[in-house]
């Protein structure tokens, strides 16, 4: 039996999170199939077919899948499920919206946000904001899993998968897509950026003006604590933490962040962590590789200037 | 229009959890428990929809042991009209929870079911979607805004890099994200009054659904501790260290 991956894409390319799911799926030692849903997936199918470790790409194109709704994604998954031993996706909003719906229709459990896939359908997943690692075993014949992207490397190119096309089930009638807004930014995507610069509430109205130039200099993404987002200093979608985005960049710079457990849950797997905080006892220093006790309004511009040299 | 809100009793978000000595799970004995923050947001949003005249009655439901009554009292103190405890000592997992909530929803016939997008203990984030599937209704997950127009729920959803708006036929299931509503402060007199209100109790076993756990938890362990690094004295020194670490 094979493994099916619910792929996410922008119409042209796979999201990096899908490539990470491809790597995770190799744990089953079974052929990996990639499911593409969209209005026209011709371009993305070409990208997907090149991914190393993918045996087959399945295209399901239909007008109503241009902006796929949970009920329509779930009905495709339910139609295909009989041919697979596992259905896997990245733990992203797109997959988290649809895969639990499919799980309930299939009457199977879904193991969410796994960081390790062991043999015999056993998994490790963080609970309690990552303060506990739970080992779980699912005896079901069909395994449904979402993976934490930071725990798996992205699969590269080098494959040449066959591409097949399937007809979409009829569109659901329960809901309809209305609109979307995208925060336009020249910066890399937060979840996959090589460098993330995050700030806390103390940045206030100067969040962008202080951290923006440093992000620009390092070609990094901006992140924020929940407090900074709640106070309106940073947009919703850059919240890093238990209930926001989980990141693990090469370099994470935390400016004016005290280090609440909920925030650490979203960044403590970063390769190198820098903490800039005026409070020498801030919890963030306990996870930081390099800490500097300083006023961030002095230290961040200094750092930006030093890097320009 | 009736709204059903599902709430969960969880370890308070300020508590640092401990693992039981035998590694079988998290020790919750004597630990401060609270309403799951996302569920509290769902209750708040239901109250605001009622204040806007869009909802007429709010019923809160929780599942678990008798101790879970305290989160229902909290919901009553916030202002919900009625509460239901589905009582069981069995370990509950998302699919079982969704099945029990489906049974309650079929009794109550709400037009709107509101829940938090995830519970901060198991961080599974599945129940709303599963419940919508089992009820055969539309779903709006990770909601940051809800309007009711022409018999549809218009839901703004938080997704990576922006938002998405969907229109849901009613009845529908909606899960609350952080920005949906800021929960009101519960005043002491309201809390005292809530203690006098009745709690309807249903035995989970009487609802005729299979809510047995599907997944075995075999161990709970502490994550590896990240070693603290060093403090540097100046920005110049920091830059040098970052160059040595080859991250800049």
Cβ distance of B11 and A128 shorter than 8 Å: yes
pLDDT at B228: 80
Residues 26-65 of A with CB under 8 A from B: none
Looking at residue B212, what DSSP letter applies? -
Contacts of B123 in chain A (CB under 8 A): 112-113, 126-129, 242
Q: Is the CB of residue A279 less than 8 Å away from at least one CB of chain B?
A: no
User: pLDDT by residue (tens digit) across A8-42?
Assistant: 999 999 999 999 999 999 999 999 999 999 999 99
In this prediction, residue A186 carries a pLDDT of 87
Q: Output the CA–CA distances (angstroms, integers) from residue B163 to A22, A36, A186, A277, B142, in the order listed.
A: 26, 22, 18, 32, 10
Query: Which helix (H) or strand (E) covers residue A305, if one does?
Result: helix A296-308
Q: To the nearest 10°, the Cα dihedral for A154, A158, A163, A168?
A: 10
pLDDT above 90 coverage of chain A, percent: 96
Pairing of strands B200-203, B82-87: parallel
Of A111, A245, A285, the CB nearest to B231: A285
The CA distance from A133 to A121, in Å, is 16
Check pLDDT > 90 for residue A60.
yes
Q: pTM for the whole thing?
A: 0.95
A 214-243 residues inside an 8 A Cβ radius of B: 218, 226, 229-230, 236-237, 239, 242-243
At B100-135, the pLDDT tens digits run: 999 999 999 999 999 999 999 999 999 999 999 999
Query: What would the two tokens of residue A292 be?
Result: 């500097």
**pLDDT value, residue A49:** 98
Average pLDDT over chain A, rounded to an integer: 96
SS3 content of chain A, % helix, strand, coil (to 5): 35, 30, 35
CB-CB neighbours of A238 under 10 Å: 24
Minimum Cα–Cα distance from A134: chain B residue: B220
Q: At what angle do helices B37-51 and B69-78 cross, to 10 degrees?
A: 30
User: Alpha-carbon distance A275 to B231, whole Å?
Assistant: 9
Whether the predicted pLDDT of B161 surpasses 90:
no
Confidence class for position B196, pLDDT limits 50, 70, 90: very high
CA–chain centroid gap for B80, Å, is 16
Q: Which residues of A touch B133 (CB under 8 A)?
A: 74, 100-105
Round to whole Å and give the CA distance between B31 and A301.
44
Mean pLDDT of chain B: 96
Q: In angstroms, how far apart are the furthest CA atoms of chain A? A: 61
- Asked if A195 contacts A204 with a C-beta cutoff of 8 angstroms, the reply is no
Which residue among A138, A175, A177 sits closest to B215, beta carbon to beta carbon? Answer: A138
Residue B4: pLDDT band with limits 50, 70, 90? very high
Pairing of strands A2-6, A84-90: parallel
Chain A residues near residue B92 by CB distance under 8 angstroms: none
3-state secondary structure of B191: helix
Q: How far is B204 from chain A (nearest CA, A)?
A: 19
The DSSP 8-state label assigned to residue A239 in this structure reads B
Of residues A101, A175, A289, nearest to B168 (C-beta): A175
Strand ranges inside chain A, DSSP E:
2-6, 32-38, 56-61, 84-90, 110-114, 116-117, 122-127, 132-138, 143-147, 162-166, 175-182, 195-199, 221-224, 251-255, 272-277, 290-293
Is some CB atom of chain B closer than 8 A to the CB atom of A118?
Answer: no
Taken in order A140, A143, A149, A153, the sign of the CA dihedral is: positive
DSSP for A103-168, please give it: HHHHT--EEEEESEE-STTEEEEEETTTTEEEEEEE--SSEEEEE-GGGSPPP-B----EEEEEPP
The helix/strand/coil state of A173 is coil
Using one digit for the tens of pLDDT, what is the confidence trace for A64-95?
999 999 999 999 999 999 999 999 999 999 99
Q: What is the pLDDT of residues A165-202, one digit of tens each?
A: 999 999 999 999 999 998 888 899 999 999 999 999 99
pLDDT at A309: 86
Tell me whether residues B231 and A107 touch, CB distance under 8 A.
no
Q: What is the pLDDT of residues B222-233, one digit of tens each?
A: 999 888 899 999
- Look up tokens 């009101």; give the residue: B184
Q: What is the pLDDT of residue B115?
A: 98
- Average pLDDT of span B9-37: 94
Per-residue model confidence (pLDDT) at position A282: 97
Each residue of A101-126: pLDDT tens digit? 999 999 999 999 999 999 889 999 99
CB within 8 Å: B166 and A177 = yes
Question: Which tens digits make up the pLDDT trace of A130-164?
Answer: 999 999 999 999 999 999 999 999 999 999 999 99
Phi-psi region of A202 (alpha: psi -120 to 50; beta: other; left: phi over 0): alpha
């Amino acid at each position: 039996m094979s493994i099916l991956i619910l792929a996410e894409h922008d119409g042209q390319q796979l999201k990096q999170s899908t490539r990470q799911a491809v790597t995770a799926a190799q744990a089953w030692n079974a052929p990996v199939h990639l499911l593409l849903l969209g209005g026209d997936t011709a371009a993305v199918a070409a990208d997907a077919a090149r991914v190393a470790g993918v045996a087959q790409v399945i295209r399901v194109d239909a007008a109503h899948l241009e902006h796929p709704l949970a009920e329509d994604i779930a009905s495709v998954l339910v139609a295909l499920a009989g041919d697979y031993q596992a259905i896997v996706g990245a733990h992203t909003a797109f997959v988290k919206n649809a895969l639990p719906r499919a799980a309930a229709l299939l009457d199977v459990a879904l193991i969410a946000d796994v960081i390790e896939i062991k043999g015999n359908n056993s998994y490790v997943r963080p609970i309690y904001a990552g303060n506990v690692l739970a080992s779980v075993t699912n005896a079901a014949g069909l395994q449904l899993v979402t993976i934490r992207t930071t725990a798996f490397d992205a699969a590269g190119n080098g494959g040449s998968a066959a591409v097949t096309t399937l007809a979409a089930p009829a569109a659901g009638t329960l809901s309809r897509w209305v609109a979307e807004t995208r925060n336009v930014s020249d910066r890399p995507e937060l979840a996959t950026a090589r460098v993330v610069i995050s700030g806390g509430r103390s940045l206030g109205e100067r969040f962008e003006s202080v951290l923006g130039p440093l992000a620009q200099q390092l070609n990094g993404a901006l992140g924020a604590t929940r407090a900074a987002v709640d106070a309106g200093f940073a947009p919703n979608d850059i919240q890093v933490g238990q209930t926001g985005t989980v990141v693990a960049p090469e370099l994470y710079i935390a400016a004016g962040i005290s280090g609440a457990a909920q925030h650490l849950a979203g960044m403590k797997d970063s390769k190198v962590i820098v903490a800039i905080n005026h409070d020498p006892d801030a919890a963030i220093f306990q996870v930081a590789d390099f800490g500097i006790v300083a006023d961030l309004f002095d230290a961040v511009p200094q750092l930006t200037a030093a890097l320009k040299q | 229009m009736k709204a059903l809100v599902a709430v969960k009793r969880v370890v308070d978000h300020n508590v640092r959890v401990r693992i039981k000595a035998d590694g079988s799970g998290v020790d919750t004995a004597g630990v401060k428990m609270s309403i799951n923050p996302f569920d509290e947001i769902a209750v708040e949003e239901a109250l605001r929809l009622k204040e806007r005249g869009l909802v007429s009655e709010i019923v809160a439901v929780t599942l678990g042991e008798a101790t879970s009554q305290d989160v229902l009292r909290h919901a009553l103190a916030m202002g919900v009209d009625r509460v239901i405890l589905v009582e069981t000592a069995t370990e509950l997992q998302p699919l079982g929870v969704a099945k029990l909530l489906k049974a309650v929803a079929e009794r109550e016939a709400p037009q709107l079911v509101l829940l938090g997008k995830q519970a901060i203990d198991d961080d599974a984030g599945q129940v709303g979607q599963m419940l919508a599937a089992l009820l055969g209704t539309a779903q709006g997950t990770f909601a940051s805004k809800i309007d009711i127009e022409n018999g549809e729920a218009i839901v703004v959803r938080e997704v990576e890099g922006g938002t998405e708006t969907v229109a849901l036929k009613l009845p529908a299931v909606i899960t609350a994200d952080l920005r949906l509503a800021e929960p009101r402060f519960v005043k002491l007199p309201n809390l005292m009054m809530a203690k006098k209100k009745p709690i309807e109790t249903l035995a989970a076993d009487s609802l005729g659904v299979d809510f047995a756990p599907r997944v075995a938890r075999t161990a709970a362990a502490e994550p590896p501790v990240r070693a603290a690094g060093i403090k540097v004295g100046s920005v110049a020194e920091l830059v040098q260290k970052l160059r040595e670490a080859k991250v800049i």
